[in-house]
Amino acid sequence: MQTINQNRWNDSDFKTVLSIFEEISSIPRCSKNEEQIAAWLEKFGKERGFETKRDHCNNILIQVPASPGMENLPAVILQAHTDMVCEKETGSPHSFVTDGISLRYFEENNISYLTADQTTLGADNGIGMAYMLAIAASADISHPPLELLFTTDEEIGLTGAQGMDPDFISGNYLINLDSEEEGVVIVGCAGGTQIGFKRLIDVENACAGDNLEETDCDATLMPYNIVVSGLLGGHSGTDIHIGRGNANLILIQFFKRLAERYTQNTIKLIKIKGGTAANTIPRRAELSFVTDIPAENLKTEAADYAALISSVPSFNDPNMAVEVAVADFSNVQKSNLKSFSAKNTERILNFLIAIPNGVFEMSASIPDLVLTSGNLAIIKTRSNEEYFKGAEKETESSDLDIYTEKSKRELEIIYSLRSGNDLRLKEKIKEMMALSEKYHYNFEITHTYSPWEPDFNSVFLKNCAEIYQKTFGKEIQIQAIHAGLECGVFHRTFSGIKMVSIGPDITGAHTPDETLNLDAAEKVWIYLKEILKSFPNAEG
């Protein structure tokens, strides 16, 4: 791991923040895999003599006594989440189950940055955790009584916050440290839900023609792969409006275009796989199919379609590629290669193309804020055998199990909805339910969470803004965001709680390009300390 010049930092305490972040980064902590980080946090608190507790969701609360003279002030909750989005570059050998994150420091234009080697960095929300622990570890930072709240599973559906008992915390003021832009204080966020569409669909011999008799695949129906790659991806909330391509959508649209242009040819889907996380714009998607369309035509169509997509002025993914190549199923007997029928392929395409994606509505009251959006996050096929085994994940071998003797294959779609308005969110959920009924798919709602509708007149907000002005000599921006924060859950559960959210500049969140601006991170650290030091003047 590359070291950094520790003399660079104006605030000497910030070195402690970085040291703690490095230690956090050594602990695997993907969503649903947070036992290790929870145990580490629990040990951190207890070893320092702080009252520390863990609940059934692995949420951790560390209670830090007030600095001398501040004992009678109300408690302040500092809050961050322990999990991270685990994305890596194609071909990376990194294991998120066993390996820590490999960090890399660098400077550009005299600004210090931190990123990771071929994986997400986990600054979302590891840097927030590091701020909290650095305050707890210091005897020199003035603060009122603190409740350090570390919540689990935020990235999947804020389930740690939603599963927390109402008496787990007691403070009436909360500073969330999960925002991603320095100089901005967040006072509102989107709510959201994750939707699952599933259906078991008949498969047949891939080489069968319209009369269901075997034909010679080598002579008529050839297997091909289509791969959409090179996309930047991004956060499905904050990046949904900036022109990032959705690999699943591009793949489906191209496949649909082939079907419409070659109506006299046979096209039969074998399998499809795209996207890795519900809260990430998918960067890569691929499918296999058999067809009698000539290979030269397929490659020309792919090149033409890639050029067409790239020519759209709002498209912001310069390295996108759409490629077609002959699939290698040489180890499979032709009679065992299974696909959906041509009719079922058409029905699958019609359903996938009907699922809306992207920005649906902008806020009428807040400039440039997305109000409602949808993200076609994950598409995958799974064999009948896997389905009935209840497999949670596809392994490399099961992913290739497309020549099973079983007669059905499951198609699963994971879709995320967001809205800053609770009524609009419920309306869109009903629309998705109606869509599933129309196409006869099973419909499941998971991980629903409420929006945090902004209160721009909060006295707590006003006083935090004044502290920023006094500290840095300029005004802080007050915004709402189109991403889910746990503040939405807290706002619903604790109606009287006063909240703000702050954080440093993080770019490329939820992708292997995730980068933390360390100069901005230092400013947020200084600002947080000033809020706590000045808390008698920050109450509202």
Per the CB < 8 A criterion, the answer to whether 299 and 315 are in contact is: no
**Between 44 and 446, whose confidence is greater?**
44
* In a domain? residue 496: yes
**Structural tokens at position 68:** 């001398």
* Domain end call among 395, 414, 445: 445
Q: What is the pLDDT of residues 301-323, one digit of tens each?
A: 999 999 999 999 999 899 999 99
The pLDDT value given to residue 219: 62
Which pTM was predicted? 0.79
* In a domain? residue 518: yes
Give the pLDDT mean for 145-163: 94
List strands edge to edge, sheet with 498-501.
Answer: 51-54, 60-64, 146-151, 76-81, 173-176, 498-501, 184-189, 477-481
Query: Poorest-confidence range of 34-43, 203-212, 479-488?
Result: 203-212
The pLDDT value given to residue 407: 83
CA distances from 458 to 249, 366, 371, 455, 495 (A): 41, 17, 22, 6, 14
Per the CB < 8 A criterion, the answer to whether 483 and 279 are in contact is: no
Answer yes or no: is pLDDT of 389 > 80.
no
Q: Are residues 216 and 300 in the same domain?
A: yes
Q: State how beta strands 498-501 and 321-326 pair.
A: unpaired
* In a domain? residue 105: yes
Q: Are residues 466 and 441 in the same domain?
A: no
Give the pLDDT mean for 147-154: 97
Q: What is the pLDDT of residues 114-130, one digit of tens each?
A: 999 999 999 999 999 99
The pLDDT value given to residue 384: 52
Averaged confidence pLDDT in the chain:
90
* Domain end call among 416, 445, 474: 445
Which amino acid is it at 191? G
Q: State how beta strands 76-81 and 173-176 pair.
A: parallel
Q: How many domains does the chain have?
A: 2
* In a domain? residue 66: yes
* In a domain? residue 285: yes
Q: Are residues 282 and 425 in the same domain?
A: yes
Q: Are residues 376 and 359 in the same domain?
A: yes
Give the pLDDT mean for 355-371: 94
The Cα 267–Cα 116 span in angstroms is 42
Q: Are residues 186 and 220 in the same domain?
A: no
pLDDT interval class at 82 (50, 70, 90) = very high
Q: What is the pLDDT of residues 497-525, one digit of tens each?
A: 999 999 999 999 999 999 999 999 999 99
From the number of C-beta atoms within 10 Å of its C-beta (0-12, 13-18, 19+), residue 397 rates as exposed
Q: What is the pLDDT of residues 245-300, one digit of tens each?
A: 999 999 999 999 999 999 999 999 999 999 998 889 999 999 999 999 999 999 99
The Cα 344–Cα 213 span in angstroms is 17
Q: Are residues 208 and 334 in the same domain?
A: yes
* In a domain? residue 268: yes
The Cα 42–Cα 34 span in angstroms is 12
pLDDT interval class at 539 (50, 70, 90) = low
DSSP lists the bridge partners of residue 410 as 200, 382
Q: Are residues 271 and 168 in the same domain?
A: no
* Domain end call among 445, 470, 489: 445
The Cα 270–Cα 258 span in angstroms is 15
Active site residues: 83, 154
Per the CB < 8 A criterion, the answer to whether 124 and 239 are in contact is: no
Q: Are residues 49 and 78 in the same domain?
A: yes
Per the CB < 8 A criterion, the answer to whether 383 and 409 are in contact is: yes
Per the CB < 8 A criterion, the answer to whether 203 and 228 are in contact is: no
Structural domain boundaries enclosing 153: 9-190+451-538
**Residue 220: how many other CB atoms lie within 10 Å:** 13
Answer yes or no: is pLDDT of 216 > 80.
no
* In a domain? residue 3: no
Please report, for the domain that includes residue 302, its CATH number. 3.30.70.360
Q: Are residues 178 and 205 in the same domain?
A: no
* In a domain? residue 514: yes
Q: Are residues 286 and 329 in the same domain?
A: yes
Q: Are residues 163 and 216 in the same domain?
A: no
